[in-house]
Structure 1
Amino acid sequence: MYAIIDIETTGGKYNEEGITEIAIYKFDGHEVIDQFISLVNPEKDIQPFVVKLTGINNKMLRNAPKFYEVAKRIVEITEGCIIVAHNASFDYRILQIEFKRLGFDYKRQNLCTVELSKKLLPEQEKYSLGKLVRALGIPMSDRHRASGDAMATVKLFKLLLTKDLDKKIVTQTIKAEIKRKLPQKFLDILDTLPTKTGVYYIHKTDGTIIYIGKSKNIKKRINQHFTGKNRKSKSIQREVAAVTYEETGSELIALLKESQEIKHNNPKYNRSQKHKHFQFALYQRKKDNGYNSLYIGKLDARKKALTSFVSINEAKNFLFKITEQFHLCQYINGLSLEQKPCFLYETKGCKGACCGKETSKDYNKRVNNFITNYSYKNSNKIIIDRGRNHDERSAILIENGEYKGYGFYNLNYQVTNIDILKDIIVPMEDNRDTQHIIQSHLRRKKVKKIIDL
Structure 2
Amino acid sequence: MILESQLIKKHQPLYNRKLRYAYKVITLHKIMLPNRILSLTFRETERIRPNDLENIVGVFKSRKEVISYLTDLAKSNGLCPRYLNLEKPARAAPCFWSQLGWCRGVCCGRETPARYNLRVLEALGRVSIRKWPFPGPVLIRESEGHDHRGYIIDRWCLVAEADFDRDNLNVSEYDGTFDNDTYRILVRFIGNPKNAGRITPLLPGSLQKSGLPAVWQTHQIVP
TM-score (norm 2): 0.52
Confirm or deny: 8 A CA contact 2:24 2:44 kept in the other structure: no
Query: Counterparts of 1:406 and 1:260 in 2: how far apart (Å)?
Result: 20
Matches within 5 A, 1:140-151: none
1:283 aligns with 2:29: yes
Inter-CA distance 247–334: structure 2 relative to 1 (3 Å threshold): same
Instruction: Report the identity percentage.
Output: 19
Matched residues in 2 for 1:328 and 1:290: separation? 15
Residue in structure 2 matched with residue 436 of structure 1 by the alignment: 180
Q: 2:94 aligns with which of 341, 348, 351?
A: 341
Superposition map of 1:26-425 within 5 A: 246=1, 254=6, 258-259=10-11, 263-264=15-16, 266=18, 274-299=20-45, 304-338=55-89, 340-376=93-129, 378-380=131-133, 399=134
Separation in 1 of the partners of 2:79 and 2:73?
A: 8
Gap runs ≥5 in structure 1: 1-245, 268-273, 381-398, 409-425
Q: Offset at 1:407? A: 8.6
Query: C-alpha deviations, 1:394-431, integer Å up to 9, x for none?
Result: xxxxx3597875999xxxxxxxxxxxxxxxxx645342
Q: Deviations over 1:63-97 (max 9, x none)?
A: xxxxxxxxxxxxxxxxxxxxxxxxxxxxxxxxxxx
Letter in 2 for 1:362: R
Of structures 1 and 2, the larger Rg is shown by 1
Q: In structure 2, what residue type is equivalent to 1:335?
A: L
8 Å contact from structure 1 (residues 256, 437) kept in 2: no
Residue 332 of structure 1 aligns with an amino acid whose one-letter code is Y
Higher relative contact order by CA 8 Å / sep ≥ 6: 1 or 2? Answer: 2
Question: Conserved in 1, the CA contact under 8 Å of 2:2 and 2:142?
Answer: no
Higher normalized helix content (fraction of residues): 1
Aligned residues: 154
CA distance in 1 between counterparts of 2:8 and 2:123 reads 24
Deviation (angstroms), 1:298: 3.1
Q: Which amino acid aligns with 2:31?
A: R
- Aligned-residue offset at 1:346: 3.6
CA distance in 2, matches of 1:275, 1:336: 34
What CA distance in whole angstroms lies between the structure 1 residues aligned with 2:107 and 2:136?
Answer: 33
SS of 2:42's equivalent in the other structure is strand
Asked whether the 8 Å contact 1:286–1:292 carries over to 2, the reply is yes
Amino acid at match of 1:317: S
**1:265 to 1:257, Cα distance in 2 relative to 1, 3 A:** same
Letter matched to residue 44 of structure 2: K
Amino acid paired to 1:263? Y
8 Å contact from structure 1 (residues 293, 333) kept in 2:
yes
Contact 1:329 1:350 in 2 (8 A): yes
**Is contact 2:41–2:84 with CA below 8 Å preserved after alignment?**
yes
Question: What's the C-alpha RMSD, in Å, of the aligned pairs?
Answer: 4.0
Go from structure 1 to structure 2 and tell me whether the alpha carbon gap of 1:309 and 1:358 turns closer, same or farther (over 3 Å shift): same
Report the 3-state secondary structure (helix = DSSP H, G, I; strand = E; otherwise coil) of the residue aligned with 1:318.
helix
> Structure 1 counterpart of 2:113, which letter?
S
Contact 2:7/2:15 (CA < 8 Å) preserved in 1?
Answer: no
Distance in 1, Cα, partners of 2:8 & 2:72: 25
> Which consecutive unaligned segments of at least 5 residues does structure 2 have?
144-149, 158-175, 193-223
| 3-state SS of 1:353 partner | coil
TM-score, with structure 1 as normaliser: 0.28
> How many angstroms does 1:341 deviate by?
2.6
Aligned to 2:29, the other structure's residue is in SS state: strand
Q: Distance in 2 between matches of 1:375 and 1:403?
A: 22
SS in 1 for 2:83: coil
> SS of 1:294's equivalent?
strand
Please give the alpha-carbon distance, in whole angstroms, between the structure 1 residues aligned to 2:128 and 2:34: 25
Q: Specify whether residues 348 and 263 from structure 1 end up closer, same or farther in structure 2 by C-alpha distance, changes over 3 A only.
A: same
Shift, 1:308, TM fit = 2.5
Q: Which amino acid aligns with 2:10?
A: E
